[in-house]
Amino acid sequence: MKLTLKDKDFLERLKALVETKDLSIALKQDGLKRLVLRQNYGDKIESAFGMSRQGVRWRFQRLFNEIYVEAYETIYWVESSFGTELRSMALEIARDRVEMRKKARETSIDKSCRRETKEDTADPSDPQ
């Protein structure tokens, strides 16, 4: 499962709130282990994320207990079958993919900025 830009934004906001101790992440054990958000769950959280408390809980559940934990389940299964020899290669591929995405994003931002600049400075009476 892939992360979306909304997921990335959510993680950045969550990181800021965890660093300022407004929220914390804990392991809950009630038959089934899972990660949960703890501490202030009031209006400040709703305004920080721009969504309801239920929306914050849903996205946290999806990102941390589904995507994140399932990724480690997959790694555990692969490494149980093949050992850890593939780990360094997989990490190298992952780093390369992240770098390519960053460069693509920067390139598209640069192009859109240049396009806006050209449009802003163009003579409106010039039909081109």
Supply the pTM of this predicted model: 0.71
∠ CA 23-3-89, rounded to 5°: 110
Q: Is the pLDDT of residue 122 over 80?
A: no
Contact 46, 53 (CB under 8 A): yes
Q: Please tell me the distance from the alpha carbon of residue 59 to that of residue 6, in angstroms, as a whole number.
A: 10
- pLDDT, residue 115, reads 63
The pLDDT value recorded for residue 121 is: 56
Q: pLDDT tens digit string along 79-119?
A: 999 999 999 999 999 999 989 988 988 888 777 666 665 55
Q: In the prediction, which pLDDT does 45 show?
A: 82
Tokens of 34: 């899972």
The pLDDT of residue 5:
87
Q: Is 126 helix (H, G, I), strand (E, B) or coil?
A: coil
